[in-house]
Structures are given as structure tokens and as C-alpha cells.
Amino acid sequence: MSLEPDAPGAIDSRLARLDWLRSAERRAAISRVASVIAHLIGTPLNVIAGRAALIRANPSAESVNENARRIEEQVDRLAQRIRKLIEYLTSPEPETEPTPVTALVEEALALYEPIARQRGVTLRALPGAPTGAVEGNSAMVILTSLFSLASRHAPKAEIVELSFTMAQDHQLVFELTIPGFTVPSVPIDRLDPPENDDQASAEPLQVLSVCYAIARRSGGKLEVVARDAAPTVIRFECAYTP
């Protein structure tokens, strides 16, 4: 059986489909964790609320002591279960893999230029990438996640640009300029729900929060810079070896 070559645009469509599946997988994982947490804390919190109500209803010393003891038991139980969940969900640190910046950017663009093009967005890197190296695993996850975010949320016919600057202490800054991107209304350093139950900003906030955590874990940082009447800039700073 022979395989027919892909029709023009078929590979781009498949890459876009894989990117959509990547996003769906992330949403499913977050939903599953949220479900586990809800189940984990639901019963203890109900018991605590009930016992607190009993204290208000009967403030005698004997009642207060017994209900306080039950509240303390539930708090201890809840703390233990949460610690076990955190230990279970915390993955080991990946091995470091120094990667030349130029090779990293070329690979990320090769993966996401077709996806952005499929969605009517132009994705490009400006000249000036340094010749040194960064930690490739974490940087690739962050860079491709940001490219995915940009290709999904930049308006059609817009250009998303990646540029490079050097910061102090041998840090390299990737700056991704995304026209038309709406900045989440809450800080990205914690995964608080969006204000006013704004579900449209839920996915960008999730992506940026995860990227922020990865950057911090590898000794870098990530921030979103929004200026009036100017495109949003996402700055990813990481350790750089000349």
C-alpha cells in the first residue's frame, strides 16, 4: 500500500489540530484536578461549618470544647490530604538540556508558524538572537505555549513578533509582542478566577500562570506588559550562557 503525499495545507491543518488537542488536554487536566480538590475538601469543610454553627447555637464551655476538637480533627485531616495530593501531583524536575537560542527559536517557529498561518496570523522572530544557550526543555515549553496563545488570540492579519534583549546577571529576555491580546484581569502569579466570571480570559490566564510557574522553577520569570494603545508584550526571562 502506498501513501499519497499530503495535499497543500494538510500538514498545517494537522498541526493546528494537534495544537487544539494540546489545549484540550490541558483543560481536561485542570478540570480533573479541580474535581479532585472539590471532592477532597468538600466533606471536611461541611463538617467544620456545621461545628462552627453548633458553637454559635450553644456557646457553653462543654459544647465549645467538643466542637472545637472536631474542627481541629477535620483541619488536620484536610491538611494531610492536601499534602498528599501536592506530593502526588508534583512531578520531578526535568533534566536540564542546554540548547542554543537560535536552534530553540528555529524549532519553535517550525512548529508554530504553520499553525499561526492556518489561523491567519503571521508569526516571526526579529534578527538579533544571541548565539549562546539557555535551558532548552523549560524554554521550549514556555515559548511554544506562548506561540500557541498568540496564534489563538491575535486577530487575523496581525503580526506577532519575537525579539531578544539582554538583562542583568546573564539573563536573556524573549519579548513576544501580540497585537490585540487582552491582558487577564488578575495577576498571573496565582491562579485566581478571572473577575466578573470572565470565562473568555480563563484559558489565557491558565497558560500564562503555568508558564510563570515553569519560568520561576527554572530560575527565570515571566511578566505581561500592557500599555495604552500599544500591543501587549509578554516577557520571558531566563538564564543565559554565552
- Tell the residue number behind the cell numbers 525579539, with chain if given: 163
pLDDT single digits (tens) 55-78: 999 889 888 999 999 999 999 989
Q: What would the grid cell of residue 103 be?
A: 536552534
Bridge-based pairing state of the strands 171-178 and 232-239:
antiparallel
pLDDT in tens, 109-136: 999 999 999 999 999 999 999 999 999 9
State whether the Cα torsion 227-140-84-46 is positive or negative: positive
Give the pLDDT of residue 149. 95
Beta strands 159-167 and 122-125: pairing type? parallel
11, pLDDT greater than 80:
no
Matching residue, cell 546577571: 169
Mean pLDDT of the chain: 87
What is the torsional sign of CA 228, 200, 147, 180? negative
Residue whose C-alpha is closest to residue 234's, from 169, 171, 170, 160? 160
Contact 151, 160 (CB under 8 A): yes
Q: Output the pLDDT for position 199.
A: 61
227-242: average pLDDT: 91
Least confident window among 150-154, 190-194, 236-240: 190-194
